[in-house]
Amino acid sequence: MGSKNPHHGLTPGLALGLALAIVLDTLAQLLWKHAVAGLPENASIQVTLLAALDQPWFAVVIGLFLVQLWNWLGVLKHADLSFAQPITSISYLAVAVASWWLFGETIGPVKTTGILFILAGVWLTSQGPRNTRVESERTR
């Protein structure tokens, strides 16, 4: 484990992959919310499920997740998870801003601070040793 150490150099391809990961995450969340909002309220499970099958946005969301998986595996081929994960957690911020802009959701100071705490937390948790046994390999 850890014999091959992908270095941290940010190549144009990797930067594109990371940017795409953020965009896809954000888009998937927004469309998921949009798709759910289109379902009938307080309907039976049967009616809701039929409505969901009729709602093309759910298929789009599933498609986005598949593309995201493919892109993410590509990113991880060229970067450590501890490098990629904190960067893509920017999508927490992107989703909040986009939801305010597109859906008119409230983003007050408390929520903003909370999201920043989460970003800092993700950053910290991602920096630990990658492998329980391998501790002194990072070069950045």
Partner 1 sequence: MSSMELGIVLVLLCALIEGFAQVCLKKSAMLVEGRVAWIATGIGFFCIEALLYSIALQWLDISVAYPLGAASFLAVSGFSRWLLKESLDARRIAGLGLIVMGCAMVVAQG
Q: Tokens representing 35?
A: 């798709």
- Closer Cβ to partner 1, 23 or 123, answer by number: 123
In angstroms, the CA 127 to CA 45 distance is 43
- Closer Cβ to partner 1, 20 or 107, answer by number: 107
Q: How far is the CB of 8 from partner 1 (least distance, A)?
A: 18
**Site residues, partner 1 (CB under 8 A):** 29-30, 32-33, 36-37, 39, 41, 52, 89, 92, 95-96, 99-100, 103, 105-108, 110-111, 113-129, 132
**100: Cβ–Cβ under 8 A, 6 or more apart, which residues?**
106, 107
93 and 119 Cβ atoms separated by less than 8 Å: yes
- Closer Cβ to partner 1, 20 or 122, answer by number: 122
Q: How far is the CB of 48 from partner 1 (least distance, A)?
A: 9
Q: Tokens representing 59?
A: 């298929």
Comparing C-alpha atoms, which of 38, 1, 19, 39 is closest to residue 91?
19
Q: How far is the CB of 11 from partner 1 (least distance, A)?
A: 26
**54: Cβ–Cβ under 8 A, 6 or more apart, which residues?**
none
Q: How far is the CB of 42 from partner 1 (least distance, A)?
A: 10
- Closer Cβ to partner 1, 9 or 133, answer by number: 133
